Amino acid sequence: MLIKEMTRTLITLAISLGCVASSLAQDWSEDYTVSGSVAGDAFGSAIVSVGDLDGDGTADFVTGSPNYGASVFRSGSISFFSGADGSLLATRDGEEYGEGAGGTFAYLGTYENDNLALIASSSPFFSSSNGDFSGIIRIYSYDINAGTLELFTTIEGVAPGEMLGMSMAGFQYDSVTDNSLELAASAIGHNGLDGAVYIYKIDSTTAEASIVLTIEGATGQQELLGFSLSKAALNNQATLLMGSPFAYDAANRAGAVSVLNNTGQGVISLTNPFSGVANAYLGFAVAAGEDVTGDGVADFISSAPYLGNGHIVTWKSVNSLRTLEGPYANGAFGSSIALIQDLDFDGLHDIIVGAPQTANDKGRVALHNLASASQDEIHSFVGSDVGQMLGSAVTTITNSDISPILIGSNESISRHSLEIDEVTISASGTYEVLTDITVEVNDLFISSNVYFYVGESNTPSTFGNHDLDISGNVQLFASYTTSGHTEYQDFAISEIYPDGTNLIFQVVEEYGLLTRYSGLTGGSVIAPDISTMVTGSFEWDTDVTVRASNLYDGGTVYFYVGQSNVPSTFGNHDLNISGDVQLISMEVNPDSTVDQLFTISDSLPEGTNLYFQVVEEYNSLTRYSNLSGGMVVEPTLFELSNQGNTAGEQMGLRVTGGEPWSVVEFYGTLNGSIDPIDGTLINSANTGGDGSAIININVPAGMSGATAYLRAQDTFFGFKTQVLTVVFL
C-alpha cells in the first residue's frame, strides 16, 4: 500500500510561489492565490517551471488538475500561469476519457530559432491501446508569440502496467546539434516493477518521438527504477540522476540512487549510507546539476523521507557523501527536494526540502546551505492548517537575480515574495569646502563588501563592474568589508570643487552573487565667502582695522585697498576694486580670522573713498571677500566746554568732536600742576551720533573763588580734550 500512499502524495499537490534571500531585515508577503476551478480536481497535482512565456521578465509555470472532468470524465487539464501575477495564460483539457492529464510535467525547452515551447504532461495510470495502466505522455507546444497551446505529439506506454511517465525530466542527452529535444521518462512498472527509463528524441520536423536509450532496472528486484528523475551533470556533461526507492541493498527497500554515465560506461551506483536499513526508501526524490558543497563540481542529492524524521543525502562523488536529518519526528523530511540559485549569497546553489507531514500534515519547507559545516537552515515555511501538507512538492523558477520557489500544498496556488530591504543611504554635513560629509548606509549584510562612490551628475555610468546611477568625475572613495548592518564613511570636500558643484553619493554592496545598489543622496558644494569689515574713524593719521573672517588655516591672504569699486586686475587677482590699488599686506594666516591695520595718510584728500578687499589662496582654491571701507575725513577737534560757573549751582560739562557712539569720561582736579586725568573721575557719558556728550554736576557753595582744572577722555580710542580751567564765582 505504500506505493499508493507515495503516488497519492505525488498527485495531490498545489503550489506556493515565493522568493528567498538571507535573513537581513526581510518581509514576506502573499502576492496572490490561485485555486482550482472545481473542488476535488486535484488542482496542482504536479508543477513545473518553464521559461518566460509571456515576456514580462519572470519565468512562468505549469500545473495540472488530473481529476478535472467538466466535459469528459476525469480527462484532466493542464494550465499555464504567469509567474509574475498568477494570471492564466492558457489551459487545455485532457484528450480522452479518464486520461487524468496533468499528473507529471517536464519542460523540454524550444528548438533553435523557434517560438514553440514544448511541455510534456503524463498520465502514468492511463489505460491506452497498449493495455491497462500502460501510461501516456502528451507533448504540448506553447506558441510564445501567439499565446496558444496545441498538442504536438503523443507517446504511449508499450505494455500493460508500464505506468509510463511516473517521473520525467527534460535534458540534453547528447551534444549533437540535430534540431531535436530530449526527454527522459520512467516506466516504473516495466518488467514486473523492475522499472525502466526511456530517453526519447523529439524531432521538430516530424514531431515524432524515438527511443535513443533504454535503461532497465535490475531483473527481479522490483526496484521501481526511475521513480524519481533529475537532469544532472557528470564530467562536466549533462546526464541523468535516477532514484529507485524500492531497491534491495542488504535489506528490502533500502533504496538506491544511480547516475547515467555519459561517457559510455553504463550506470554508476552511488554509495547508499542506509545499506542494510529496511524501508529506508533512498531515491524517493532526487535533485542534481549544480555545485552545492563548494568544491566546484556538480553534486547529487537524494532523499529518504520515511526513515526516522526523514533524511537527505548529498554526494560529492560516488563514495563521498554526507547526510542531513529533518528536525521533526515523522515529518517526511525530503518528500520533495529541488536546487535553487544562491539563497544566502555565498556563491553556491542551495536546496529546498519539503516535509509535508510535519505537525499533523500542516507541512514545512526548509531552505538549507549544504556547504556549511552544519548544513545550516536559511529559512523555513510552515503550513497553517492541519492537512495542508505544505511541501508536498517544491521546485524553482529561474530568474535573473533571486529565484522564486514553488511549494506544493493542497489545492491552491499562492505566491509569497521575500523582499530584501533596499540599501538606504543618507549624507549629513554642510557641504562647505574643507569639511567632511558623513555618508550613512543602512540595511547591509554583515561581511558584505561595500563600495562608496561620489559623482557630479545623476546620469548612469559604469565604474569597473558596477553600473552606477551617477557620472561625472566618479570616484571610489572607500571600500571595505562590513561589520554591521549600518556603516558610516566620511568624505572630505576638497578645495578642488568649485562653489555650486553637485556631489551625488551612491553605495554598492556585493554579497556573494548578490549586488545591491543604494539610492542617491547629495548636495551642492559651498565655498563660503571671506567676510571683510573695516572699523575706524578714517581721519588723517589714524588707523583703521581691516578684519578678514572665514579664512582657512594655512592659507595665504592678501589685503588690498583702492579708491573705486570698479573691477581691475592686480597680479593674478581679479579684484572688485581699482584706483591706486595697493597691496597692504600678504601673509600666511594662522587662524580663521586675521586683522590688518591701515594708516589713513594726511596726503589723501578729504572725501576720498577707500575700498578694502581681501583675497585668500588655499592650494588650488582662490576666494575673494566682499568690499568694505569708508570716506577720508579731516580730524574734528575733541573739545570740552562748560555751561555755568557759579558755586552752589549746577554746571554743565559738554564734549564735542568725539567719536560717535563712544564713551567719554570726565575728570577734574584743583591742583593745576597735574593732568586732570590723574585727578578724580567725575562721571561718564555716551556720545551720540554727532560725537557729543554732556553731564551736569552740582558745584558746592564753598567752591566760590576756587579754580578747577577739567578734562575728558574717549575710553574707546583714548582721545583727550584740552584742559578746561574754570574759576567759580
Domain with CATH 2.20.130.20 in the chain: 424-524, 531-631
> What architecture is domain 639-727?
Sandwich (2.60)
What is the average pLDDT across 160-185?
A: 85
Q: Which helix (H) or strand (E) holds 360?
A: helix 358-361
Average pLDDT (393-422) is 73
The reported pLDDT for the residue numbered 12 is: 29
- CA separation for the pair 693, 640 (Å, rounded): 10
| Per CATH, domain 424-524 is 1.10.10.10 | no
pLDDT at 401 > cutoff 60:
no
**CATH 2.60.40.4070 given to domain 531-631:** no
465 Cβ partners below 8 Å, 6+ apart? none
Least confident of 34-43, 297-306, 703-712: 34-43
User: In terms of C-beta distances under 8 Å and separation of at least 24 residues, what long-range contacts does 383-388 make, across chains too?
Assistant: 383/358, 383/359, 383/409, 386/359, 386/360, 386/361, 386/362, 387/360, 387/361, 387/362, 388/361, 388/362, 388/363
Residue 195 pLDDT: 96
Q: pLDDT grade, residue 341 (50/70/90)?
A: confident
- Is the pLDDT higher at 548 or at 204? 548
Residue 207 identity (one-letter amino acid) = A
CA gap 720, 54 in Å, rounded: 98
CA 295 – CA 298 distance, rounded (Å): 8
| pLDDT for position 23 | 42
The predicted model scores a pTM of 0.68
> What is the pLDDT at residue 345?
75
CB within 8 A of 195, min separation 6: which ones? 186, 187, 188, 189, 216, 217, 223, 224, 225, 226, 227, 244
Least confident of 101-110, 309-318, 557-566, 629-638: 629-638
- Per residue, the 3-state secondary structure of 376-436, as one string, reads CEEEEEECCCCCCCECCCEEECCCCCCCEEEECCCCEEEEEEEEECCCEEEEECCCECCCE
Cell for 403?
A: 529565484
Give the separation between CA 296 and CA 348, rounded to whole angstroms.
Answer: 9
Q: State the average pLDDT for the chain.
A: 88
Q: What pLDDT shows up at residue 219?
A: 93
**409 pLDDT band (50/70/90 cuts)?**
confident
Beta-strand relationship, 15-19 and 412-420: parallel
Best CA proximity match to 270, nearest among 279, 278, 260, 262: 260
Out of 41-45, 76-80, 677-681, which region has the weakest mean confidence (pLDDT)? 41-45
Residue type, 219: T
Position 168: which residue type?
M
Lowest mean pLDDT among 18-32, 345-359, 502-516: 18-32
* pLDDT-above-70 percentage for the chain: 94
CATH 2.130.10.130 region(s) of the chain? 2-420
Whether 385 and 359 have beta carbons less than 8 Å apart is answered as no
For residues 186 and 460, give the distance between their C-alpha atoms in angstroms, rounded to a whole number.
Answer: 52
In 3D space, the residue among 401, 353, 403 whose CA is nearest the CA of residue 378 turns out to be 353
Q: Where in the chain is the domain with CATH 2.60.40.10?
A: 639-727
Alpha-carbon distance of 520 to 458, in angstroms, equals: 8
User: In this structure, are residues 182 and 154 in contact, taking their beta carbons and an 8 Å threshold?
Assistant: no
**Rounded-to-integer distance, Cα 721 and Cα 298, Å:** 104
pLDDT digits (tens, 9 = 90+) for 251-295: 999 999 999 987 666 899 999 999 999 999 999 999 998 999 989
511 pLDDT tier (thresholds 50, 70, 90): confident
Average pLDDT over residues 68-76: 87
**pLDDT tens, 435-485?**
999 999 998 988 899 999 999 999 999 999 999 999 999 999 999 999 999
Q: Which of 409-413, 501-505, 631-635, 690-694 has the lowest mean pLDDT?
A: 409-413
| 217 has a pLDDT exceeding 90 | yes
pLDDT band at 181 (very low <50, low <70, confident <90, very high): confident
**Section 22-32 average pLDDT:** 58
Q: How many CB atoms lie within 10 A of CB 178?
A: 9
Give Cβ neighbours of residue 507 (< 8 Å, ≥ 6 apart): 423, 425, 439, 441, 450, 451, 452, 453, 517, 518
Residue 19 in this model has a pLDDT that exceeds 50: no
Q: What secondary structure does DSSP assign to 295-351, as a single string?
A: SSS--EEEEETTSTT-EEEEESSSS-EEEEE-SSTT--TTSEEEEES-SSSSSS-EE
400, pLDDT greater than 90: no
User: Which of 23-32, 199-208, 249-258 is least confident?
Assistant: 23-32
Q: Give the model's confidence band at 206: pLDDT under 50 very low, under 70 low, under 90 confident, else very high.
A: confident
Q: What is the pLDDT of residues 227-247, one digit of tens each?
A: 999 998 887 788 899 999 999
Q: Is the pLDDT of residue 10 over 70?
A: no
C-alpha distances (whole Å) from 211 to each of 138, 169, 184, 201, 274 are 15, 15, 10, 6, 34
Q: Per-residue pLDDT for 418 more than 90?
A: no
Maximal C-alpha separation, the chain: 155
Report the pLDDT value the prediction gives residue 32, as an integer from 0 to 100: 79
Strand partners, 288: 300
CA atoms of 474 and 53, how far apart (whole Å): 40
d(CA 182, CA 107): 10
Q: Are 582 and 556 in contact (CB under 8 A)?
A: no
Three cell numbers written together for 613: 578687499
Residue 414 has pLDDT above 80, yes or no: no
Q: How far is CA 508 from the centre of its chain?
A: 7
Res 197: pLDDT:
96
Q: How far apart are CA 46 and CA 41, in angstroms?
A: 12
Per CATH, the number for 2-420 is: 2.130.10.130
Please return the burial class of 359, using the count of CB atoms within 10 Å of its CB with bins 0-12, 13-18 and 19+: middle
Cα dihedral 405, 409, 415, 420, rounded to 10, equals -50
- Chain length of the chain: 729
* pLDDT of 517 above 80: yes
The reported pLDDT for the residue numbered 205 is 81
CB 28 within 8 A of CB 20: no
Tell me the one-letter amino acid at 250: A
Among 60-64, 153-157, 214-218, 420-424, where is mean pLDDT lowest?
A: 420-424
